Structure 1
Amino acid sequence: MPTYLPFDPNPRGPVKAPPPKTVDSQFHVLGPIDKYPERPGAAYRMPTATWEAALRMHKALGIERGIIVQTTTYGADHAVVLDGLAAMGPNYRGCANALVFAEASDSYLAKLHDAGVRGARFSFRQELGAVLSDADFARAIARIRELGWYVKIQPEKDGIVSSVAKYENLDVPVLIDHMARPDPEAGKNDPNLRKMLELLKKGNFWVMLSLGEKTSKTGAPYDDVIPIARAYIEAAPDRCVWASDWPHPVSVKQPPNDADLLELMYRYAPDQAELEKILVHNPAKLFGFPD
């Protein structure tokens, strides 16, 4: 298993506090290997990224709500998410890994729902080894429709264009992670950016303004990703959300302090009302928090 660089263990406070009830729309929790066994073939591990460490980060940044997203490290075994939700309380929700639909029972899905899980993340990245067959994908979407969950899509390294045909016609809420992984150097001509803007016109597609630090080609302070975020905000201001993506899995460069990423979000949306939509009201609607 490759060695990746860990999160900054000393999150600082941001230059200004985020609005009350701000939501971190994606972070992961992991834990000790002896307590949470890894799925065979897992791409990475980070046993220090516990729910306690995540909560410290959120408190330092002033974040009150969040979505624990199950990592591919554990596949269909959601024990770490269930423990995290129980410990972190009602201001937190969960997002399952889609492998659960192929490997777990209906009673387990009900257990996840009762614990606060409201969506499932799908990956088409073969190197992560957590990709459903077409038949399992179809069954998963049917169950998601019954449960009232949303679909979450993890873009491939080259974006969404190579896999978008699998989900672009879904009739449930669909959240695309990481700004659809466009190439900032391509500007408005990037096919992933153009496709994401097309999806946003459908009304049931959402975009997560995350991973700016890895999407950027110029590096900190990540000026080249601001036009991408602005394009999405201007296209669908009511269906953009933000996430830290803590603890920044599979990082080959040292991840920034998480306050840097929240401050990047402030630059995406310098208007306070717009910022509150993205950090508070939009995710409350998507994830089922009281607004």
Structure 2
Amino acid sequence: MTLILPSAACNAHCHVFGPRSRFPYARGATFVPKEDAPKEALYALNDRLGLSRCVVVQSSCHGFDNRVTEDALASRPGDYRGIALLPTHVRDAELQRLHAAGFRGVRFNFMGHLGRHTPIEEVIALATRIAPLGWHLQIHGDPALLTDLAPALRRSPTPVVIDHIGRIDAALGQNQPNFQALLQLMADERFWVKVSGMDRITRLGPPYADAQAFARTLVAEFGNRVLWGNDWPHPNHAGLIPDEQQLVDLIAAIAPNPAAREALLVRNPERLYQFGDNP
């Protein structure tokens, strides 16, 4: 049965790639998409699925050149927000410019396949500079490395969003140390988590029954600090590319009542990404 989403539902994690003729991929990028995934395709998908709001996350294939994400926001001002990739020495004037364009956070990758990691102390120093804007840190990390980073992340003066259920291994169960470490982080009110990426952490494949349990626990225990996104167009995906409608329908399995879905899809992203405020 197709799930009907609440009004103003948000896809809080997706990307745009290219077109490369207008937005070339970064020289030395750790990966280059086989096909472009332009903003028009994203708009069409979100509209079809009933997702009127969206957060576009700058991808490492475009590096620190955030123009491709900025362009996607400009065509749907107010309803689309962005997460940037930035060097930690970025100028304050550039942060202000990106804020006016609709950006609300900066992402750091701590995954081995995405290249060199930014020193965590530099990340925390940047967090101090973005805090006045109401921005947050978004952390995409290998679960073991994320545990190592936890003491520093707890010093962040801004909210910290953990991507894709912390990239834990669903086959290891909820008592595994990596998931317990994520729960300990979430006990701190400054931490948020994206219950996206069930298709990445599963070992069973669709409909991701092993991964659903983790997402359901996070929604139940931290319902005011969870976010959902479909991760379109699923870069660097090792398994079967998900069915987009199935991902939406599975929201009912992880947020089993209307109040939980309203928080997950509307109220939480509205608060974190400042929807309704002028870009």
If the TM-score is normalised by the length of the shorter chain, which range does it land in?
over 0.9
Of residues 24, 40, 43, the one that matches 1:52 is 40
Q: CA deviation at 1:158?
A: 5.1
The superposition leaves residues 19-51 of structure 1 with CA deviations (integer Å, 9 ceiling, x where unpaired) of: 110011111011122321222321223352111
Q: Which residue is equivalent to 1:200?
A: 186
Count residues in correspondence.
276
Give yes or no for the alignment of 1:211 onto 2:194: no
- Aligned in 2, Cα 1:20/1:266: closer, same or farther, shift over 3 Å? same
Of residues 66, 69, 74, the one that matches 2:57 is 69
Paired amino acid for 1:40: R
The superposition leaves residues 158-211 of structure 1 with CA deviations (integer Å, 9 ceiling, x where unpaired) of: 562243333133231111110112222221221221111111111111110000
- Aligned in 2, Cα 1:126/1:221: closer, same or farther, shift over 3 Å? closer
Higher relative contact order (CA 8 A, sep 6+): 1
Q: Which runs of 5+ in 1 are unaligned?
A: 1-13
Of residues 68, 79, 82, the one that matches 1:91 is 79
Give yes or no for the alignment of 1:148 onto 2:134: yes
Q: Which runs of 5+ in 2 are unaligned?
A: none
The superposition leaves residues 230-253 of structure 1 with CA deviations (integer Å, 9 ceiling, x where unpaired) of: 221222111111011111001233
Give yes or no for the alignment of 1:272 onto 2:258: yes
Of residues 147, 169, 177, the one that matches 2:163 is 177
Looking at structure 1, the residues matched to 169 and 145 of structure 2 have their Cα atoms a distance apart, in angstroms, of: 9
Looking at structure 2, the residues matched to 252 and 223 of structure 1 have their Cα atoms a distance apart, in angstroms, of: 18
- Aligned in 2, Cα 1:159/1:230: closer, same or farther, shift over 3 Å? farther
- Aligned in 2, Cα 1:227/1:20: closer, same or farther, shift over 3 Å? same
Of residues 146, 150, 166, the one that matches 1:160 is 146
SS of the residue 2:138 aligns to: strand
SS of the residue 2:192 aligns to: strand
Q: Which residue is equivalent to 1:38?
A: 25
Of residues 81, 88, 93, the one that matches 1:101 is 88
C-alpha RMSD of matched pairs (Å): 1.9
Paired amino acid for 1:21: A
Q: Which residue is equivalent to 1:191?
A: 177
Of residues 66, 72, 95, the one that matches 1:78 is 66
- Aligned in 2, Cα 1:130/1:91: closer, same or farther, shift over 3 Å? farther
Identity of aligned residues (%): 33
When normalised by structure 2's length, the TM-score is 0.92
Q: Which residue is equivalent to 1:262?
A: 248
